[in-house]
Structure 1
Amino acid sequence: MSLEPPTYLTSLQNNIRARPIPWEGAVRAGNITEEQLRRVKAVDKVRKDSRQKTIEKDVNAYTSLLAGSGSEKSILESATRRTDIIQYILVLAGDLINDVPALTSALVEGNESYRHFLPLLTNSTTEDPIPLLTSSLLANLVSASLRATPKISQKDEVALPKLFSYLSTLTKSADTGLQDIGVQGYSALLRTKRSREIFWKERKDTVEPLIGILRAAAGATKDNGSSLGGGRAGEAGISGGVGIQLLYHVLLVLWQLSFEGDLIGAELESEHEIIALYTNLLKLSPKEKTTRLLLSTLRNLLSLSKTNLLPNAVVVRLPAMLSNLNSRHLSDPDLLEDLSGLSDMLDEYTKTQTTFDEYAAEVQSGHLRWSPPHRNPTFWRENARRILDEDRGSLPKKLVEILSKDWETDKQVLAIACNDVGCLVREVPERRHQLDKLGLKARVMALMTDREESVRWESLRAVGEWLRYTFEG
């Protein structure tokens, strides 16, 4: 897939192309050789067809110029003290690779083609042009290498973590121009299963900043859980200063990653509540192209990680969101196919679920909402004992985990959890010692002084259930 190059990068490259370089002075100073200068002049500032013919006559010479060969130094190695020449050559090399497939193939096939490029990624800050230009050049080379062979090469295996590491510094930047360069670099590299596995392995640096961009777009925050806020789609972006193009590129990267749904689905949900986030983004999506990526990613994740994700999809009301989308006038055939496939998958799943299943899925998701079971006395009479016994008491243990968090941005979660604990004590009082042993009584009592009124009220009610039995043996 081909994306428009980031404006920030294009502008930088054009500025460098326009700079005059004192080439003859560089030769006299011993910064480059006369032969290197001859090769540069033969392909610099000439027509594309002329450049192509020159290089194709002697591909090895130009491979050596950029990557070195045996005892012959590359021009980057020769000009280590001249940052102006290094910047210029990096831009020129990018142009040559784009214009001359034969040169790209020769560089891809060389075992040490990246040797002089990789060290340039470590220079100073994200504003330094050299690592920025190097990352663009290397992303194109590694991408071409990944497409050329079904099995990843050793040099790509070494280069990918270093490239991902540098690109992650761009995606963490406050500058959206730099973010877009990083994200588009990722997209070029996520061509194979192995590159996606490496990307996921480094997910704290690679995936987490992308989720942050999506949360900003959704007007959402995350602090011990998520509070997915609303927002209104605008012409320039959705929310949080995220432009539509950057949003699209981030969604594209996560769509590419979603083809490893069996590997990433459960952790992507537990770490980032991805299903709730995407459900909210569907509501706000400003364009069919972003809606298409959201639906396709959800379909990949849910179909490849059904056990972990389908229950959560029901909890966050994804089926209702899909029903809403079905009522819109959508025209993209791929979008409509994914919408139909997702709807069918969720319909089939929900037909088999009981109220207990829905409650258990919500608790296991780690994020409680005022869904119908919480306030239903019949539900608690019929299911309280099962909740305590199911899977060796996994649900009460999950309530402990939920109550252990502060939920500063979503206090209702604490109120709901207190309600549930009180219902368990009321319906199965002889098992209250089990809950006490887990630490639930102490935590619920502590919440009686919480700043949020609803939390104080629900914790008081729960403690009241315990106090009813204080004087019983």
Structure 2
Amino acid sequence: MSSIIEKPHEDIHQLIATLKDQVQKNSGTDAVNATVRHIQTLLREDKYRHEFVKADGVQTIVTALTGSTNFQLQYQLIFALWCLTFNASIAQKAPSFGVIQVLGDILSESTKEKVIRIILATFANILNKIDDSEIKRQAALQMVQCKTLKTLELIESKKFDDPDLEDDVKFLTEELTLSVHDLSSYDEYYSEVRTGRLTWSPVHKSEKFWRENAARLNEKQFEVVKILIKLLENSKDPTILCVAAHDIGEYVRHYPRGKTVIEQYQGKTAVMRLLSAEDPNVRYHALLAVQKLMVHNWEYLGKQLDTDAQKDGVAAN
């Protein structure tokens, strides 16, 4: 195994490409397990971590974890991610890599102490290594949205005989509880939208929320609006499509220039395409969103007709 670490720099790119390819092919349990062991060994060395990240290695691991894996392979893949989070600059990218979501899903379902331990250690590393307060907050919010606080409660009640595990549970509970206390309804909404994993959480159907926050969807060059439209265009999940269509409709209803913004980014086309979706709930919420877009149009048309009539009256005089 030491031969991997001793390879010259120019050979590392090819090695990483080969390892990634073998994981993606998933040609057999023993072969993949052996490949991931090589990756684990490689990532123990900080000098190779950035090369692995630049080669989209993290996405390869995340994709493998979302597929069908045996327990040992799952542990090894997570171990590789844990190794990466010892590098502060890589840990800062965890919220945008989808690492937290996939590990949060596994944590909520796993009964294997070995897997639980390595996920909590990875989460603790991420929060410890991130020095940017906003990115750290986003990471903590993603963990909260994955129901990690509830999972930590259950883990604590099982009393695992592992002092390191206990320390990580205590640290994460304190950090995530603090992030919840500082959480505004818009923070919660923004974090959820950025994950792309929309659910019917209470904030979506709150009239007060939309009345107070619709204009905030314009922040950061309409980032949230663009994400919602992208979800309408690319997602296959009926719930995500329903929630995204609903949110587009509420944005238009509560923000005066919402229709213009949605049309500018081809959102109206994306919503109307869903009127022929197979799922009846998706069709229903798409129809509601279209109605809100049209009502906005009718209001504008009514004002325009009044203006034209006034002009005609003045001209007649």
| Same fold at TM > 0.5 | yes
Equivalent residue, structure 2, for 1:180: 33
Paired with 1:307 and 1:413, the residues of 2 have a C-alpha distance of: 24
| 8 Å Cα contact 2:138-2:191 kept in structure 1 | no
Equivalent residue, structure 2, for 1:141: 3
Which of the numbers 288, 302, 309 marks the counterpart of 1:461? Answer: 288
Change (3 A) 1:365 1:168: closer
Residue type at the aligned position of 1:190: L
Residue type at the aligned position of 2:81: L
Change (3 A) 1:162 1:426: closer
**How do 1:18-97 and structure 2 match up within 5 A?**
none
Which of the numbers 230, 234, 251 marks the counterpart of 1:424? Answer: 251
Change (3 A) 1:157 1:350: same
Pairwise CA distance, 1:261: 4.7
1:366 aligns with 2:191: no
Count how many residue pairs are aligned between Structure 1 and Structure 2.
Answer: 294
1:340 aligns with 2:170: yes
Paired with 2:180 and 2:50, the residues of 1 have a C-alpha distance of: 32
Pairwise CA distance, 1:351: 1.4
**How do 1:228-239 and structure 2 match up within 5 A?**
none
With 299-308 and 276-285 compared, the bigger mean Cα shift is at 299-308
Pairwise CA distance, 1:446: 1.7
Per-residue CA deviations over 1:137-177 (Å, capped at 9, x if unaligned) read: xx32344x5xxxxxxxxx53234333323333432332111
| 8 Å Cα contact 1:215-1:277 kept in structure 2 | yes
| 8 Å Cα contact 1:426-1:465 kept in structure 2 | yes
Normalising by structure 1, we get a TM-score of 0.58
Paired with 1:458 and 1:278, the residues of 2 have a C-alpha distance of: 31
Paired with 1:200 and 1:466, the residues of 2 have a C-alpha distance of: 42
| 8 Å Cα contact 2:100-2:142 kept in structure 1 | yes
Equivalent residue, structure 2, for 1:213: 64
**How do 1:54-453 and structure 2 match up within 5 A?**
139-143=1-5, 156-171=8-23, 172-203=25-56, 206-216=57-67, 240=68, 242-263=69-90, 265-266=92-93, 268-271=94-97, 273-305=98-130, 306-388=136-218, 390-405=219-234, 407-408=235-236, 410-453=237-280
Q: 3-state DSSP class of the match of 1:337?
A: helix
Pairwise CA distance, 1:308: 4.3
Pairwise CA distance, 1:382: 1.8
Equivalent residue, structure 1, for 2:310: none
Residue type at the aligned position of 2:156: N
Paired with 1:333 and 1:355, the residues of 2 have a C-alpha distance of: 36
Tell me, which stretches of 5 or more residues in structure 2 are unaligned? 131-135, 305-317
Per-residue CA deviations over 1:307-343 (Å, capped at 9, x if unaligned) read: 4422322333222222232222322111111111111
| 8 Å Cα contact 1:368-1:416 kept in structure 2 | yes
For the pair shown, the structure with the greater C-alpha radius of gyration is 1
Paired with 2:215 and 2:128, the residues of 1 have a C-alpha distance of: 33
Paired with 1:263 and 1:191, the residues of 2 have a C-alpha distance of: 14
| 8 Å Cα contact 2:103-2:119 kept in structure 1 | yes
Residue type at the aligned position of 2:66: R
Paired with 2:260 and 2:14, the residues of 1 have a C-alpha distance of: 53
Q: Percent of counterpart pairs with the same letter?
A: 28
Residue type at the aligned position of 1:321: T
Residue type at the aligned position of 1:167: L
Change (3 A) 1:439 1:140: same
| 8 Å Cα contact 2:91-2:125 kept in structure 1 | no
Paired with 1:202 and 1:435, the residues of 2 have a C-alpha distance of: 35
Pairwise CA distance, 1:418: 0.8
Pairwise CA distance, 1:194: 0.9
Per-residue CA deviations over 1:251-305 (Å, capped at 9, x if unaligned) read: 2212111212532543x5444x222211111122232111110111122123334
| 8 Å Cα contact 1:415-1:454 kept in structure 2 | yes
Paired with 1:258 and 1:275, the residues of 2 have a C-alpha distance of: 12
Per-residue CA deviations over 1:20-72 (Å, capped at 9, x if unaligned) read: xxxxxxxxxxxxxxxxxxxxxxxxxxxxxxxxxxxxxxxxxxxxxxxxxxxxx
Q: 3-state DSSP class of the match of 2:26?
A: coil
Equivalent residue, structure 1, for 2:308: none
Equivalent residue, structure 1, for 2:315: none
Paired with 1:398 and 1:243, the residues of 2 have a C-alpha distance of: 33
Residue type at the aligned position of 2:140: L
Q: 3-state DSSP class of the match of 2:105?
A: helix
Higher normalized helix content (fraction of residues): 2
Pairwise CA distance, 1:246: 2.3
Change (3 A) 1:255 1:467: same
| 8 Å Cα contact 1:279-1:321 kept in structure 2 | no
| 8 Å Cα contact 1:142-1:156 kept in structure 2 | no
CA-based RMSD: 2.2
Normalising by structure 2, we get a TM-score of 0.84
Pairwise CA distance, 1:394: 2.4
